[in-house]
Amino acid sequence: MEDVIRFLASLAPTSLMPVAVLLLVLGGGAVAWPLVLAKGDRGEVKRRLKVEVAQPAEQADPAPKRNASAVREKAVKRAQEFYAKSDPENVARLRMKLIQAGYMEPRAVGMFFLIRFLTLVGAALGAFLINHWAASAESTMTSRWTFIILSAAGGYFLPGLVLTQKVREKMREYRNGFPDFMDLMIVCSDAGMSMEAGIERVSKELARTYPSLSQNLILVSLELRAGRSLDDALKALADRLSLDEVRSFATLLQQSKELGTSLSGSLRVFSDEMRHKRMSMAEEKAHALPAKMSVPVTVCILPVVLMIAIIPIIVKLTAHH
């Protein structure tokens, strides 16, 4: 022990620094490691039990953000009120289209009109700046104003085109998910669940695979809890989804109640028809694929093949001459 003490005393202070740093790191790691393990264990337990940890209260937004939000909400409200008074039928159709696209907020109509106005003004302003900075000296005033008007028209119709594309994507999801909905409804019916309880259960099961369809089914469950009849709730669902299959499903349930037939058997037959219809649509798309591929093949591949076949002949003829 005395030899060790003498050896340490003989060392210079600078030579002891790496040893001290190493000991400090090892000590800190030894202290922190149990805390890290305990935190990981708690996180795993919370994940298994699905305990929602309350988030800390957010700090109050500063005054500029509150003012901007208030101005935006006021503009949306004014736009919705103005268009609702001027053209209520168009507003009603737009409201249904927004619901089909997944925008169910009451202020969605006003937000759409506000976005369309902003895109119109932004496109016109952008075209004006392009004419001012990048237009050539040879361009006439008529061509400049034509460019501005066409840009403004494009900005006006752009939100509608985006909304239409969104509706198509949602309808594709609804159409793909409805046969799965029918299969799960058959399982719930065979298990002895009522139609209302089955819809509520299936809406939870489809939340990950078809979130938009699940959201609409949850809305149906809420309407049924509020006292709305099943037929009216399903008709409203058919209007929101804009699918003939949902209307047929509502008619099937109504006829099954009136005639007293087995609900499980009716659902099974209807599900088989839905599967057959989806398979027929897939086969139709597969058969149409060769005709669609003929255009890119002709435009992209055929010229290359002709060049490979003709260019060597042209080179030989040129070399002989």
149-159: pLDDT as tens digits: 999 999 989 99
Question: Is residue 120 within 8 Å of 79, Cβ to Cβ?
Answer: no
What residues make up the domain containing 257?
A: 174-279
For residue 314, give both structure tokens. 């042209």
Domain count, the chain: 1
Angle among Cα 287, 164, 252 to the nearest 5 degrees reads 70
Residue 245 covered by a domain: yes
Rounded to the nearest integer, the mean pLDDT of the chain is 75
Residue 190 covered by a domain: yes
CA distance 196 to 223: 10
Alpha carbon 248 to chain centroid, angstroms: 27
Which of 27-41, 45-59, 72-86, 243-257 shows the highest mean pLDDT?
243-257
Residue 41 covered by a domain: no
CA distance 96 to 113: 15
Confidence of residue 137 (pLDDT cuts 50, 70, 90): low
CA distance 252 to 202: 18
Kindly write down the DSSP assignment for every residue of 34-60, as one continuous string. HHHHHHHHHHHHHHHHTPPPPPPPPPP
* Residue-level pLDDT at 72: 63
* Residue-level pLDDT at 79: 64
Residue 168 covered by a domain: no
Task: Compare 3 and 129 and report the one with higher pLDDT.
Answer: 129
Residue 240 covered by a domain: yes
**Range in 79-88, 228-237, 280-289 with the lowest mean pLDDT:** 79-88
Residue in 106, 215, 220, 201 with CA at minimum distance from that of residue 170: 215
Residue 57 covered by a domain: no
* Residue-level pLDDT at 235: 86
* Residue-level pLDDT at 64: 58
Residue 126 covered by a domain: no
Q: What percentage of residues in the chain have a pLDDT greater than 70?
A: 71
Residue 321 covered by a domain: no
| pLDDT of 52 over the 50 cut | no
- The mean pLDDT of 286-308, rounded to a whole number, is 83
